[in-house]
């Protein structure tokens, strides 16, 4: 599932977006690199992202056919978590801008979609093929983070809590280089993980 759907500028905004129950949560992460707390929390360094990956989880690396890492998925007993970061305008507001596009794309794929108010604002919830998806976006200084969790509907309460915990401890390293808005911030694998993937590719490659 991509971050941005097929934009139709003539399309209306989803009618079922409801913000009547606003939630005001504590001021926590995701943090900009300059504001990262000295909390002693162990984080997986992925270059543009530092994720507090829980113990007992499994990592799955999604590679782009051209070579770069597209995403790192965190497998938990409750569902699969994925966090990505993107370049955003200084004015912010990118997550709000793309929610309608994402909702339209999900509906085009046959999902039932609705919006909920969460800790950082608007969240999208989708049900598709016995899987519940929740998308949470957070706007930061010149970056936007999007987290998504996919899991069984009966575990949605727990998978949502796991995603929020992951986002609260995430640190974003935007860097100073100029980037077009919506450009994915590059993911860099730790040396040990990169070596493991390279070894597996060598073993599975042509002899």
Cα gap 125→139, rounded to integer Å? 19
Instruction: Give the pLDDT band of residue 54 (cuts 50, 70, 90).
Output: confident
Domain that holds residue 181: 39-190
pLDDT for the residue 15: 39
Cross-strand partners of 86:
144, 184
Cα gap 98→7, rounded to integer Å? 9
Instruction: Give the pLDDT band of residue 195 (cuts 50, 70, 90).
Output: confident
Which DSSP category does 13 fall into? Answer: P
Q: Sheet containing 31-32: give its strands across.
A: 31-32, 171-172, 49-51, 44-45
207 falls within a domain: no
11 falls within a domain: no
Instruction: Give the pLDDT band of residue 192 (cuts 50, 70, 90).
Output: confident
Query: What pLDDT, in 10s, does the model give residues 83-108?
Result: 999 999 999 899 998 898 999 999 99
49 falls within a domain: yes
Cα gap 187→173, rounded to integer Å? 10
Task: Please check the confidence at residue 153 and state whether its pLDDT lies above 60.
Answer: yes
Share of the chain above pLDDT 70, in %: 86
Instruction: Give the pLDDT band of residue 65 (cuts 50, 70, 90).
Output: confident
Residues near 12 by Cβ (< 8 Å), separated by ≥ 6? none
pLDDT for the residue 167: 97
Share of the chain above pLDDT 90, in %: 69
Residues near 159 by Cβ (< 8 Å), separated by ≥ 6? 76, 78, 79, 81, 132, 134, 149, 150, 151
Domains in the chain, number: 1
More confident call, 14 vs 183: 183
pLDDT for the residue 205: 64
3 falls within a domain: no
> Which range among 45-54, 136-145, 188-197 shows the weakest confidence by mean pLDDT?
188-197
pLDDT for the residue 164: 96
Residues near 37 by Cβ (< 8 Å), separated by ≥ 6? 31
Cross-strand partners of 118:
121
Residue 4's Cβ-side half-sphere holds a number of Cα atoms within 13 Å equal to 15
CATH number at residue 166: 3.40.1000
Do residues 92 and 139 make contact, with C-beta atoms less than 8 angstroms apart? yes
Residues near 155 by Cβ (< 8 Å), separated by ≥ 6? 78, 79
pLDDT for the residue 10: 38
Cα gap 144→141, rounded to integer Å? 8
Mean of per-residue pLDDT scores for the chain = 86
Task: Please check the confidence at residue 24 and state whether its pLDDT lies above 70.
Answer: no
């Amino acid at each position: 599932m991509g971050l941005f759907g097929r934009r139709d500028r003539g399309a209306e905004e989803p009618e079922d977006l409801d913000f009547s129950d606003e939630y005001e949560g504590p001021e926590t992460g995701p943090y900009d690199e300059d504001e990262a707390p000295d909390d002693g929390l162990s984080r997986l360094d992925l270059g543009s992202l530092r994720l507090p990956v829980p113990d007992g989880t499994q990592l799955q690396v999604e590679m782009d056919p051209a070579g770069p890492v597209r995403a790192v998925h965190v497998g938990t007993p409750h569902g699969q978590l994925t966090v990505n970061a993107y370049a955003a305008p200084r004015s912010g507001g990118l997550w709000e801008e793309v929610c309608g596009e994402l909702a339209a794309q999900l509906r085009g794929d046959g999902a039932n979609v609705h919006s909920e108010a969460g800790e950082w604002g608007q969240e999208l919830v989708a049900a598709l093929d016995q899987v519940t998806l929740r998308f949470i976006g957070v706007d930061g200084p010149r970056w936007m983070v999007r987290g998504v969790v996919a899991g069984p509907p009966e575990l949605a309460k727990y998978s949502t809590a796991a995603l929020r915990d992951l986002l609260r401890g995430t640190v974003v390293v935007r860097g100073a280089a100029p980037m077009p808005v919506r450009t994915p911030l590059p993911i860099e694998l730790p040396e040990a993980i990169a070596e493991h993937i390279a070894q597996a590719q060598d073993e599975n490659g042509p002899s």
